[in-house]
């Protein structure tokens, strides 16, 4: 027997709701063996981000080699990469493993608290160099706006924006465009499958809760989990949407921390 495996390349969140901690929880909840490459140690809790301590890029490269040379990965989720040097290091190292194709990139630029997590010059590097290597990207509306250079803030814009994001820098990457920043009563994300040239509208009820810390990390790692388990793109996106919607709804019942609490990653297992 072998595990289905997923690797997260991300920063650490000591409060446990986002970053690689959220990724590992999601992998585990969905039946996938998780491995990690730590790119930064973040001083963070539910109320905000207070500091970022980057890991040297040579050490990041070494971690990727150690995991992929030994265990491998059926899917890779990439989270917060804070500068251009790190982005290029991760890209160059992954390019040494051409069979690793299920790459899900969460283009993390701003924390739930509003704190910036990506240096401005790195946005161009992310857009032009790393996105073309990914199979799926999962931007929210502010991130999509930064990548496209114009404001995306209405539901009528989402499908066209997802298609445009797919074609950035000549790439044909699939896009899960998240609608959480809209004020609609239902959250209708758009998944554009670049491999079939078709879009899905994935809808769930809006939950009145402040417990949204790590929702982006969790959704992207859920997509990676389902890809690691062998699902096709549409199935992975649909199941991941269902998983995060249930995790938000279940997490709304809890009181953790003084800011944006986490979602409930193990809603389907804990009683």
10-residue block means of pLDDT along the chain (271 residues)?
A: 97 95 98 98 91 95 98 97 95 98 91 66 91 96 89 87 90 90 79 96 92 94 98 98 96 93 94 67
Q: Decide if 178 is catalytic.
A: yes
Q: Decide if 216 is catalytic.
A: yes
Domain count, the chain: 1
Q: Decide if 215 is catalytic.
A: yes
For residue 268, being part of any structural domain is answered with: no
Identify the DSSP state of 129. I
pLDDT at site 32: 98
Catalytic residue among 11, 215, 241, 261: 215
Q: Decide if 34 is catalytic.
A: no
What would the DSSP string read from start to end of 207-260?
Answer: P--S--BTHHHHHHHHHHHHHHTT--HHHHHHHHHHHHHHHHHHHTT---SSSS
pLDDT at site 154: 80
For residue 269, being part of any structural domain is answered with: no
Catalytic residue among 25, 77, 178, 241: 178
Q: Decide if 217 is catalytic.
A: yes
Catalytic residue among 5, 79, 93, 217: 217
> How many Å apart are CA 183 and CA 167, to the nearest integer?
27
Looking at the whole model, is its pTM more than 0.85? yes
pLDDT at site 199: 97
pLDDT at site 20: 96
pLDDT at site 114: 60
Catalytic residue among 212, 241, 251, 261: 212
The answer to whether the beta carbons of residues 130 and 90 sit under 8 Å apart is yes
Catalytic residue among 214, 218, 251, 261: 214
For residue 26, being part of any structural domain is answered with: yes
**Torsion angle of C-alpha atoms 83, 50, 139, 124, degrees rounded to 10:** -20
> How many Å apart are CA 60 and CA 40, to the nearest integer?
9
Exposed, middle or buried: residue 257 (CB in 10 Å: 0-12, 13-18, 19+)?
Answer: middle
For residue 265, being part of any structural domain is answered with: no
CATH assignment of the domain containing 241: 3.40.1190.20
pLDDT at site 155: 82
Locus of tokens 């490269």:
61
The answer to whether the beta carbons of residues 233 and 195 sit under 8 Å apart is yes
For residue 234, being part of any structural domain is answered with: yes
Catalytic residue among 19, 216, 251, 261: 216
pLDDT at site 167: 92
For residue 179, being part of any structural domain is answered with: yes
For residue 267, being part of any structural domain is answered with: no
For residue 256, being part of any structural domain is answered with: no
Which domain does 159 fall in, by range?
5-251
């Amino acid at each position: 027997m072998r595990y289905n495996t997923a690797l997260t390349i991300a920063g650490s969140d000591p409060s446990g709701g986002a970053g690689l901690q959220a990724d590992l929880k999601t992998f585990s909840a969905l039946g996938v063996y998780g491995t990690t490459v730590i790119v930064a140690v973040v001083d963070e809790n539910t109320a905000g981000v207070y500091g970022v301590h980057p890991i040297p890029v040579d050490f990041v490269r070494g971690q990727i080699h150690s995991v992929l040379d030994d265990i491998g990965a059926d899917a890779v989720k990439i989270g917060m990469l804070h500068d251009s040097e790190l982005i290029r290091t991760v890209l160059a190292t992954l390019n040494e493993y051409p069979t690793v194709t299920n790459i899900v990139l969460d283009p993390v630029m701003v924390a739930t608290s509003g704190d910036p997590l990506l240096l401005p010059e790195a946005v161009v590097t992310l857009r032009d160099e790393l996105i073309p290597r990914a199979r799926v990207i999962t931007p929210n509306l502010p991130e999509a706006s930064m990548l496209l250079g114009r404001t995306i803030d209405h539901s009528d814009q989402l499908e066209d924006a997802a298609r445009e994001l797919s074609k950035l820098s000549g790439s044909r990457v699939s896009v899960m465009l998240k609608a959480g920043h809209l004020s609609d009563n239902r959250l209708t994300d758009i998944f554009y499958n670049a491999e079939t040239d078709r879009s899905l509208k994935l809808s769930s009820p809006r939950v009145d809760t402040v417990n949204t810390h790590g929702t982006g990390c969790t959704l992207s790692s859920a997509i990676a989990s389902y890809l690691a388990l062998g699902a096709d793109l549409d199935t992975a996106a649909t199941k991941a949407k269902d998983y995060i919607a249930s995790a938000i709804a279940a997490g709304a019942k809890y009181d953790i921390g003084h800011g944006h609490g986490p979602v409930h990653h193990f809603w389907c297992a804990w009683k």
